[in-house]
């Protein structure tokens, strides 16, 4: 079986089991018209990358860039499954545009991020590693997010959670957070929702090490979160400006 036939067979199998997403420009824009519709129609498992955080420098992963690419893709990709599949070079160009986040990206032949990332996971991973190198060595962005601590005071953590609630629940944003772990390590996740509880908040997050939504509980009085692998950590909300630019890009596209 040649590669083209094999590719088509895989794609047809995937298409038969997944939901069809926005095709027309009006549909694309309608599901991004409000924060509620964005989270309902965009932040779901069909739009998650199918591979977890991996690779990277010294095999330390690319979690920061994986999460940023994931957020860009959910907002900026317009699926055109009625068109022919992209060639390898076209797919690489699409991946680069998603990374840059400067334009709405039309993706032919696919109806979800999961389908696209299943077929082109190696190409996406390669782009994430290039991004990591560019940020780390050319722009020294590795230092951003490493100035915090893995433990803080009750008052400071409560303030962070109150601000996160305002940003995610009230303003309707998808938050990118760095998780400062003990030492110089820092992980990242996306927060799609946050709900008040009797004594704190429940955070709905997408961690690139798991690629499924999870709920983390914050209870007043805590000085850090805890994970059996990460240990104690404190989340720091970052890349707000980056998210505003993506929303502005979508808005501009939908006005044209």
> Among 11-20, 86-95, 166-175, 199-208, where is mean pLDDT lowest?
11-20
Q: What integer is the mean pLDDT of 7-27?
A: 52
- What's the confidence (pLDDT) of residue 140? 53
- Looking at the DSSP bridge assignments, the partners of residue 233 are 181, 225
Q: Is the pLDDT of residue 234 over 70?
A: yes
Confidence of residue 244 (pLDDT cuts 50, 70, 90): very high
Q: What is the pLDDT of residue 16?
A: 38
Please tell me the pTM assigned to this model.
0.87
pLDDT at 143 over 60: no
pLDDT of res. 86: 97
What is the per-residue burial (b if ≥16 Cβ within 10 Å, else e) of 67-90?
A: bbbbbbbbbbbbbbbeeebbeeee
**For residue 191, what are the β-bridge partners?**
175, 205
What pLDDT shows up at residue 142?
53
- Is the pLDDT at 80 greater than 80? The verdict is yes
- Could you read off the pLDDT of 122-138 as tens digits, one per residue? 999 999 999 998 887 65
Q: Return the pLDDT at 18.
A: 41
pLDDT band at 15 (very low <50, low <70, confident <90, very high): very low
User: Per-residue pLDDT for 8 more than 50?
Assistant: no
Q: Is 8 exposed, middle or buried (0-12, 13-18, 19+ CB in 10 A)?
A: middle
Q: What is the mean pLDDT of residues 184-210?
A: 93
The predicted pLDDT at position 184 comes to: 60
Residue 19 reports pLDDT greater than 50: no
């Amino acid at each position: 079986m040649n590669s083209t036939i094999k590719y088509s067979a895989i794609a047809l199998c995937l298409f038969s089991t997944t939901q069809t997403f926005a095709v027309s420009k009006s549909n694309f824009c309608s599901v991004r018209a409000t924060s509620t519709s964005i989270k309902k129609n965009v932040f779901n498992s069909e739009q998650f990358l199918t591979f977890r955080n991996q690779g990277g420098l010294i095999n330390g992963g690319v979690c920061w860039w994986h999460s940023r690419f994931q957020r860009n893709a959910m907002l900026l990709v317009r699926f055109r499954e009625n068109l022919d599949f992209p060639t390898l070079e076209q797919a690489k160009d699409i991946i680069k545009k998603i990374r840059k986040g400067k334009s709405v990206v039309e993706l032919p032949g696919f109806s979800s991020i999961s389908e696209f990332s299943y077929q082109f996971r190696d190409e996406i991973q390669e782009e994430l590693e290039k991004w990591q190198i560019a940020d780390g060595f050319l722009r020294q962005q590795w230092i951003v997010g490493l100035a915090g601590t893995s433990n803080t005071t009750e008052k400071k953590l409560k303030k962070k959670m109150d601000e996160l609630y305002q940003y995610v629940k009230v303003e309707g944003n998808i938050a990118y957070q760095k998780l400062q772990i003990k030492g110089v390590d820092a992980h990242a996740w996306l927060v799609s929702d946050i709900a008040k509880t009797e004594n704190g908040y429940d955070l709905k997050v997408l961690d690139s090490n798991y690629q499924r939504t999870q709920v983390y509980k914050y209870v007043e009085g805590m000085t850090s979160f805890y994970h059996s692998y990460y240990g104690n950590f404190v989340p720091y909300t970052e890349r707000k400006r980056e998210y505003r630019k993506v929303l502005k890009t979508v808005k501009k596209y939908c006005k044209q």
